Amino acid sequence: MNKIQENYTFSMIKPDAVQANHIGAMLSMIEKAGFSIDAITMLQLTPIVAEHFYAVHSDRPFYKSLCAFIASSPVVVMVLQKENAVADLRKLMGATNPVEAAEGTIRKIFATSIDYNAIHGSDSDETAASETSFFFPGCDLLLKKASTT
């Protein structure tokens, strides 16, 4: 998905949630919220990929620990399809800090702190396209909808 498409987003189940065996419960919430999982795999980020993934935060004081955490053990990366996918996933995720997350959101249920907040979701269609093409090169072939539109 190298070109920017509406109705798709990229998401990652972070190391804390994978280690806590919450993959199934989180995927279930995502599917029940109306998303279809169009691509998915488990992998572990290298330190260099982690720095690239969070490069936008490179000036922040928490950057080093954020990169170390996201590369600390396997994650699940996926492409999700739904109308308003980017905004709707951010809503389902809840606030970055789980203390501020709304009841019923993924972070409210599964995150334990702002550092260990269970899930990532792209913040725009542009970010979704670049994150998807990074983790799923050639993803056009995989996307169910892409072949029919």
List contacts with ligand GTP (CB under 6 A).
57, 62, 66, 96, 114-115, 117, 120-121, 123
CB of 56 to ligand GTP, least distance (A): 7
Alpha-carbon distances of 130 from 15, 71, 110, 139, rounded to whole Å = 21, 19, 27, 11
Closer residue to ligand GTP in complex, CB, 63/140: 63
Backbone angles phi, psi at 47, to 5 degrees: -55, -40
User: Cα dist. 51→63, 70, 87, 141 in Å?
Assistant: 8, 9, 25, 28
Q: Which is nearer to ligand GTP, 57 or 91 (CB)?
A: 57
Specify the residue, 41 or 96, whose C-beta has the smaller distance to ligand GTP. Answer: 96
**Minimum distance, C-beta of residue 73 to ligand GTP, in the bound complex (Å):** 15
